[in-house]
Amino acid sequence: MTSPPTPHLFDPEIQQALDLAGIFVFAISGALLAVRKNLDVFGMVVLAEATGLGGGVIRDLIIGAVPPAAFTNLGYFLTPLLAAGLVFFLHPQVERITRAVMVVDAAGLGLFCVTGTTKAHAYHLDLTASATLGVVSAVGGGVIRDVLAQEVPSLLRWDRDLYAVPAMVGAAIVALLFHFHAFTGVGGGIAALVTFVMRLLAMRYGWHGPRAWRRRSARAEVAQEI
C-alpha cells in the first residue's frame, strides 16, 4: 500500500531544507539542556535527537507512516548529531545567542505545526485529529526532552511564555483551510507566520496561560499548611 502524497508548502527541496533547519534548532535546545543537567556526550546526543525528531516520530507512528521519516531520511537523523557536536564544543557561545536561537525555534514551531497538520490530513484523519497531530509535531520533541531530563515540560508550566498555544492556532488555521477546501502553499505559509508572530509576541511581552479561576496564592496555601 502506497503512502498518500503529502501537500507541500514549498518546493520539496526547500521544504526539506526548512525541516532540517527546524530540527537543528530544536536539537540545539535539547543539547543545551543536557549541558545544564551536566550530562555526558551520549546524554547530549539523546536529548538532541529526541527534541529534534520526537514530535515527527510520534505523529508518523500514529498515522501509520512507517517507518517514520526520521529513520528513512539520513539527513533528519544526522542533523541532531551535528547540533549536539556544536553544543559539545561551543556551548558557552551558543548560550550567548540563546535569544536568536529562540527566534529560529519560533519559526520552526510555525513550520512544524503546519506540515504536521497537512501530513496527518493527507493520511485521511479528520480535521480535529489532524490539527492535534500538527501540535504534537511541533511540541512533542520538547516534551520528550523535558521528561528525559526529569523536568516538568515547559509547555505545562504557567511561568513560561506561551508555546503550545501559538502552535494550536496555526494548526487550527490549516484545519479550517482544509475544511473550506482552500488550503494552498500561501495559506499554509500564513498559518506558519501567525504561529511565529504569536510566539515572538509571547516572548516579548511575557504572555502566560491563565491558571485556575480564583486560585489561592502560594503564600496563602503555605500559611494554611503551617
DSSP states of 160-188 as a string? S---HHHHHHHHHHHHHHHHTT---HHHH
Residue 7 — very low, low, confident or very high, per pLDDT cuts 50/70/90?
A: low
pTM, whole model, 2 decimals?
0.88
Read off φ and ψ for residue 7, nearest 5 degrees: -60, 145
Highest mean pLDDT among 167-176, 207-216, 217-226: 167-176
Q: What is the mean pLDDT of the chain?
A: 90
State pLDDT tens for residues 51-103.
Answer: 999 999 999 999 999 999 899 999 999 999 999 999 999 999 998 888 888 99
pLDDT at 212 over 90: no
36-40, 51-55, 97-101, 181-185: the lowest-pLDDT one: 97-101
Rounded Cα distance between 126 and 110, Å, is 21
Judge contact between 165 and 147, C-beta under 8 A: no
Rounded Cα distance between 187 and 207, Å, is 26
Judge contact between 76 and 69, C-beta under 8 A: yes
Q: Given this model, what pLDDT does residue 81 score?
A: 97
Q: Given this model, what pLDDT does residue 1 score?
A: 44
Rounded Cα distance between 18 and 64, Å, is 24
Cα–chain center distance at 215? 30
pLDDT at 222 over 60: no
Residue 18 — very low, low, confident or very high, per pLDDT cuts 50/70/90?
A: confident
What is the arithmetic mean of pLDDT over 182-186?
Answer: 91
Residue 223 — very low, low, confident or very high, per pLDDT cuts 50/70/90?
A: very low
Q: How far apart are the first and last CA of the chain?
A: 64
User: Could you state, in order of their start, the residue ranges of all structural domains in the chain?
Assistant: 12-206
Q: Given this model, what pLDDT does residue 225 score?
A: 47
